[in-house]
Amino acid sequence: MYKRREVLKVGAALGLAGLGLGRAQGAFTLTLVHTNDTHAHLEPTELTLSGQRVRVGGVAQRIAFFDRLRTARRNVLFLDAGDVFQGTLYFNQYRGLADRFFMHRALYRVMALGNHEFNLGPGHLAEFVRGARFQVVSANLGLEREPRLKGLVAPFAVVSVGGERVGVVGLTTPDTAVISNPGPTVDFLDPYESAQKAVYELLRRGVNKIVILSHLGYGEDLKLARRLVGAQVIVGGHSHTLLGSFPHRELSPAGPYPTVVKNPEGKDVLVVQAWEWGKVVGVLEVTFDERGELLAYKGEPFLMTPEVAPEDFFAREALLAYAQPVMALMGQVIAEAKVDLVGERAIVRKRESNLGNLIADGMVWKTKNAGVQIALQNGGGIRASIPKGPITVGKVYEVLPFGNTLVVMDLKGKEIKAALENGVSQWEQAAGRFLQVSGLRYAFDLARPAGDRVVRVEVKTEKGYQPLDLEATYRVVVNSFIAAGGDGFTVLKEAQGYRVDTGFSDAESFMDYLKELKAVEAGLEGRIEILNEPKGEKPAYWAYRVPERVGV
């Protein structure tokens, strides 16, 4: 029954009769089809929906869906709001060029630059852009000092759709300077000022149907919408935000699709985004009058379940060809473990682990440019040990299999302590919330009640370990699962300070760190001390072959 309802829903949504959009004289209806933060997820992703595991998305399905939209909708414009790069082994192998191949087949017209497009530096990005058949835009990049990108990335694109000129203004998060690798020759300008300047230039050229293609994040897009004049549609990315209404209890949209706010002239501005990894495709129909004023709109985010569209056969065959070297990459050796790196469930969910230390240290290393001091990694996210000997790409994915990303946030000392309290609150049950750490050490007392067990927290500084200041602010990196409140970390979900999802895959970040180290001989450092531990617990721990404990 579920499948039949989905098929009927898709069929009705793709039809023109149900749109109810005005056909006033001089009116122009534009269909915006958009994705963002696909992060090299060319293969489908598995989700739990209504209690069942479902394969969602994948580039072969997206291409088939796009083909259907081209025949069912008027004046279709395909857009991507950035972060095509980084996230799976397809990026490791092809550095974005496989994604570009399928973007060409899907007939994308314009792409905004995300922060991850700079991960391999301006030179590689220039190679990607030079070969692109779609236009790449960002209005708030200063490229005067970067000859490799100068002239390749424009502030905006003007594309012809259905005989009308449509302006698309790109924006890139200024955080790129600290969460990616743009180098010293790329400047990041104020997004609002840059967008307004580009809009005025488009209006001066007689282009009055304008879309902002933003990689700023949902919250920043809402702020931009309230300030900007001359553009009434913002298609966003960067924050991996799910919008809309879905029947599945597992999904938690952050707002309606589109989210409507008023600009300084009192006009509606439509803000949309399409989650992440191609799991959702946004379809927004907007009708403009001849002056470029918004007359009507209707939109829906399509969750890319198998019922939405079958996979395109030829795209799937092409993907199989691209997949062969990726499979071989799984066996690639990236480092050498000089000792067993212990990730056994009984260890990482109850006490310090040398593998937990190593993963947390890698999180800090990967985000050092963002000023990160502390890392928190839930033990439940560590799913395997790494035996002494060669460390392969495949083994890392066994250890960190969930596809989490690294989230940088500012936390008060009292919020860090609350997170640690949550981590040890279910110690007896070996719950996955137990925290492996870097940049601090803590002690907890099992004779005390849950919620009041942490008796000492010290932060690592240049002068050695210092007591945690409950009112001070610290920059912390965590994985996206606990950042969103997973494993009971409500304190992280509700934290109000600075927060940015870097988009860095936890597994790939760990691999980068291992490659940097080359030879790994991680030990225990007294980062976690257990007081009043029940008898019989510690002997089981020492049965694992790990280096001797040092320090307290």
Mark out the alpha helices in 336-431 (DSSP H runs).
345-348, 354-366, 393-399, 413-424
Mean of pLDDT values over 4-14: 41
Could you tell me if 416 and 470 are in contact, meaning their C-beta atoms sit under 8 angstroms apart?
no
Which pLDDT score, from 0 to 100, does residue 129 have? 98
Same domain, 193 and 45: yes
To the nearest 10°, report the CA torsion of 16, 17, 21, 26.
Answer: 70
Q: By three-state DSSP, how is residue 326 classified? A: helix
Same domain, 206 and 301: yes
Same domain, 111 and 50: yes
Residue 41 domain flag: yes
Residue 159: CATH number of its domain: 3.60.21.10
Could you tell me if 37 and 87 are in contact, meaning their C-beta atoms sit under 8 angstroms apart?
no
Pairing relationship of beta strands 333-337 and 519-520 according to DSSP bridges: parallel
Q: Dump pLDDT digits (tens) for 75-125.
A: 999 999 999 998 888 998 999 999 999 999 999 999 999 999 998 999 999
Q: How confident is residue 540, by pLDDT bands cut at 50, 70 and 90?
A: very low
Query: Which letter does DSSP use for residue 429 in this model?
Result: G
Q: How confident is residue 24, by pLDDT bands cut at 50, 70 and 90?
A: low
Which pLDDT score, from 0 to 100, does residue 389 have? 96
Q: Write down which residue in 271, 298, 324 finishes a domain.
A: 324
Same domain, 317 and 340: no
Same domain, 504 and 381: yes
Max alpha carbon distance in the chain (Å)?
A: 83
Percent of the chain with pLDDT over 70: 92
Q: Dump pLDDT digits (tens) for 369-418.
A: 999 999 999 999 998 899 999 999 999 998 998 889 999 999 999 999 99
Query: Taking each helix axis from N to C terminus, what angle separates 59-72 and 313-329, rounded to the nearest 10 degrees?
Result: 160
Q: Phi and psi at residue 276, in whole multiples of 5°?
A: -160, 160
pLDDT score of 17 more than 60: no
Write the DSSP assignment of 288-315 as a string of letters: E-TTS-EEEEEEEEEE--TTT-PPPHHH
Closest CA to 67 of 134, 135, 14, 12: 14
Mark out the alpha helices in 386-485 (DSSP H runs).
393-399, 413-424, 480-483
Residues 6+ apart with CB under 8 A from 513: 358, 361, 362, 365, 366
Place of tokens 């989700």: 47
Residue 374 domain flag: yes
Same domain, 374 and 300: no
Question: What does the alpha-carbon distance between residue 84 and residue 98 come to, in Å, rounded to a whole number?
Answer: 10
Same domain, 361 and 502: yes
Mark out the alpha helices in 15-149 (DSSP H runs).
59-72, 89-94, 97-106, 121-130
Residue 19 domain flag: no
Q: Dump pLDDT digits (tens) for 471-525.
A: 999 999 999 999 989 899 999 999 999 999 998 999 999 999 999 999 999 999 9
| Number of domains present in the structure of the chain | 2
Which pTM was predicted? 0.79
Question: What does the alpha-carbon distance between residue 550 and residue 6 come to, in Å, rounded to a whole number?
Answer: 58
Same domain, 230 and 266: yes
The terminus-to-terminus CA distance of the chain in angstroms comes to 60
Same domain, 276 and 392: no
Q: Count Cβ atoms below 10 Å from residue 424 Cβ, excluding itself.
A: 25
Same domain, 243 and 343: no
Question: How buried is residue 15: exposed, middle or buried, by Cβ count under 10 Å (0-12/13-18/19+)?
Answer: exposed
Which pLDDT score, from 0 to 100, does residue 538 have? 58
Structure tokens at 223: 């702020």
Q: Count Cβ atoms below 10 Å from residue 402 Cβ, excluding itself.
A: 15
Q: How confident is residue 11, by pLDDT bands cut at 50, 70 and 90?
A: very low
Residue 498 domain flag: yes
Q: Dump pLDDT digits (tens) for 442-464.
A: 999 999 999 999 999 999 999 99
Report the chain's mean pLDDT, rounded to a whole number. 91
pLDDT score of 549 more than 60: no
pLDDT score of 262 more than 90: yes
Residue 20 domain flag: no
Q: Dump pLDDT digits (tens) for 123-134.
A: 999 999 999 999
Q: Write down which residue in 298, 324, 350 finishes a domain.
A: 324
Residue 397: CATH number of its domain: 3.90.780.10
Residue 550 domain flag: no
Beta strands in 331-469 (DSSP E): 333-337, 374-378, 389-392, 405-412, 435-438, 440-445, 454-461, 464-467
Which pLDDT score, from 0 to 100, does residue 547 have? 33
Could you tell me if 252 and 485 are in contact, meaning their C-beta atoms sit under 8 angstroms apart?
no
Question: What does the alpha-carbon distance between residue 102 and residue 105 come to, in Å, rounded to a whole number?
Answer: 5
Q: Write down which residue in 275, 296, 324 finishes a domain.
A: 324
Q: Order of strands across the sheet with 473-479?
A: 435-438, 374-378, 473-479, 405-412, 499-505
Residue 11 domain flag: no
Q: Dump pLDDT digits (tens) for 38-81.
A: 999 999 988 889 999 999 999 999 999 999 999 999 999 999 99
- Structural domain boundaries, residue 357: 333-531
Same domain, 188 and 162: yes
Q: How confident is residue 184, by pLDDT bands cut at 50, 70 and 90?
A: very high
Could you tell me if 146 and 185 are in contact, meaning their C-beta atoms sit under 8 angstroms apart?
yes
pLDDT score of 4 more than 70: no
Which pLDDT score, from 0 to 100, does residue 92 have? 85
Task: Give Rg (Cα) of the chain.
Answer: 25
Place of tokens 């010293």: 184
Weakest-pLDDT range from 3-7, 86-90, 524-528: 3-7
Which pLDDT score, from 0 to 100, does residue 486 have? 87
Q: Calculate ∠ Cα 275-276-279, nearest 5°.
A: 90
Residues 6+ apart with CB under 8 A from 374: 364, 416, 437, 438, 439, 440, 459, 474, 475, 476, 477
Looking at per-residue pLDDT, the higher value among 9 and 17 belongs to: 9
Q: In angstroms, what CA-CA distances link 384 with 1, 380, 401, 407, 417?
A: 39, 10, 10, 23, 27
Same domain, 318 and 432: no
Which pLDDT score, from 0 to 100, does residue 402 have? 83
| Displacement of CA 464 from its chain's centroid (Å) | 34
Q: By three-state DSSP, how is residue 520 classified? A: strand
Structure tokens at 235: 């298609």
Mean of pLDDT values over 189-216: 98
Length of the chain: 552
Which pLDDT score, from 0 to 100, does residue 545 have? 40
Structure tokens at 516: 């940097």
Which pLDDT score, from 0 to 100, does residue 1 have? 30
Is the backbone peptide bond immediately before 258 cis, with ω within 30 degrees of 0?
Answer: yes
To the nearest 10°, report the CA torsion of 443, 445, 449, 451.
Answer: 0
Q: Residues 129-132: contacts with CB within 8 Å, 24+ apart? A: 129/153, 131/97, 131/100, 132/100, 132/103, 132/104
Place of tokens 């595991």: 53
Q: How confident is residue 177, by pLDDT bands cut at 50, 70 and 90?
A: confident
Beta strands in 148-242 (DSSP E): 156-161, 164-172, 187-188, 209-215, 233-235
Closest CA to 209 of 152, 250, 241, 163: 163
Residue 22 domain flag: no
Question: What does the alpha-carbon distance between residue 296 and residue 417 come to, in Å, rounded to a whole number?
Answer: 50
Residues 6+ apart with CB under 8 A from 206: 165
Question: What does the alpha-carbon distance between residue 465 and residue 272 come to, in Å, rounded to a whole number?
Answer: 45
